[in-house]
Amino acid sequence: MKNIKKITAAAALLIGVSTTLYAEENVVWWDFLGGGDGVRMKKLISDFNEANAGAIKIDATTLEWGVPFYTKVQTSVAVGEAPDVMTYHASRIPLALEQNVLDEITPADWATMGFGEADFATQIWDGVTGADGKTYGVPLDTHPIVLYYNKDVLGAAGQLNADGTPKGMGSREEFTAMLQAIADAGSVKFPLGSVTADGNFMFRTIYSLVGQQNGELMTDGEFLAGDNAKKLENALGVLQEWTNAGLQSTYTDYPATVALFTSGEAAMMINGVWEVPTMTDLHASGKLFEWGAVELPVIFDKPSTYSDSHVFAIPKGSSQDPAKRAAVLKAISGILNESLFWATAGHIPANNAVTNSAEYKAMEPNATYSSLTANMIYDPKTPLAGVAGPIFDVMSTHFVPTLNGEMDPAEAVSAIKEDLSDM
């Protein structure tokens, strides 16, 4: 009997030792990166796994972007089946805090990762900070919208500067004149390809134009307070003017807009930096004209561009095991340190060390548009905002008819105000 006990104890000890010896921390990872950037993230993950073989293994799953992803996060946290780490949008953090799905990234965590406030731009850091002053995410990047342009078409219409950037970027009149000149040159169907069938998408452009007038969407908890309603009306007005003058594509959805631009039927396009890999890859295979991407034109008083950040977040109720936490933090910091490669997905890395490096500064078109980090605006901090958030549907419903000339901008703004008030 005694012997049996001894043997069992020894066996247990052996198993214990062997598991600690070969313990590879498995980090369950969820992301929503399904496009060209997803391919690049998978490469970063497999490189990380290779470098940390035997110690940490990231077990990654890519899920459907938007409401499906965020709903899954919420249910998985509720039943204790959440991943160890996940990607999140900074703009969704206020809603996530209301839903109580995020764990704080503590000062100790930041110290472990070797990152801190000083490593990120002010707006980016602010984006992951909750109303309580604590941080809830580790920023990976910032992904603004930019103006893509066809150098061949603009060149032929005499609209390029000597350095290959578009000419009419300084004011509303200049930009409209440039659109008109391209239209007059007659080589393209639309001077500007705009996602006019998708109000969700156009929110980014319209909000940027509101920001260019120093406007705010939300002031002290009130939507479109004071003259902000007028500023939204101005923003919608200029876009409608281009539609009425036949200068931009109408009722065009997202894929169609990209297709119009890449097929050369639209000379310019306002779109997210995440389309950079599409252009790079097409150009590399000889299927695309000479192209470029620059910061949005200044239509109103000052430069301003809407942006959001991909961040890493740790779900609430995740394992408190220090070894697991350390592995998760190592995975996050590992990816952040390698985010120069992430920049090939078009995104601007959040890590200042990367954006200040000589390699990044030589990278095109990122280097041309990265000046805009000084002029970024983020979503207002409310649970109602954020990508695929509640205000998206309200905006989209009234943006689409306005952008296509069916509805008067003033009428749209008052309808939006009314709808936002009964959220």
- Contacts with other proteins, residue ranges (CB under 8 A): 67, 71, 74-75, 78, 95, 98-100, 195, 197-201, 249-254, 256, 259-260, 383, 388-390, 392-394, 396-398, 400-401, 404, 406, 419, 422-423
Nearer to other proteins by C-beta: 153 or 403? 403
Tokens of 387: 């990508």
Q: How far is the CB of 171 from other proteins (least distance, A)?
A: 30
CA 400 to chain CA centroid, Å, is 22
- Alpha-carbon span 400 to 24, nearest angstrom: 51
Measured at the CA of 251, the angle between CA 245 and CA 256, to 5 degrees, comes to 110
Nearer to other proteins by C-beta: 197 or 210? 197
- What does DSSP say about strands 291-294 and 218-219: parallel, antiparallel, or unpaired? unpaired
Q: How far is the CB of 302 from other proteins (least distance, A)?
A: 29
Asked whether 341 and 277 are in contact (CB, 8 A), the reply is no
**Which residues does residue 349 pair with via DSSP β-bridges, in sequence order?**
141
Q: How far is the CB of 400 from other proteins (least distance, A)?
A: 5
**Which residues does residue 149 pair with via DSSP β-bridges, in sequence order?**
268, 292
Nearer to other proteins by C-beta: 61 or 71? 71
Nearer to other proteins by C-beta: 203 or 300? 203
Q: How far is the CB of 143 from other proteins (least distance, A)?
A: 18
Q: How far is the CB of 68 from other proteins (least distance, A)?
A: 9
Nearer to other proteins by C-beta: 132 or 422? 422
Asked whether 167 and 159 are in contact (CB, 8 A), the reply is yes
Nearer to other proteins by C-beta: 221 or 286? 221
Q: Count other Cβ atoms within 10 Å, centred on residue 227.
A: 13
Q: What one-character DSSP code corresponds to residue 296?
A: P
Omega before 68 cis (within 30°)? no
Q: How far is the CB of 388 from other proteins (least distance, A)?
A: 7
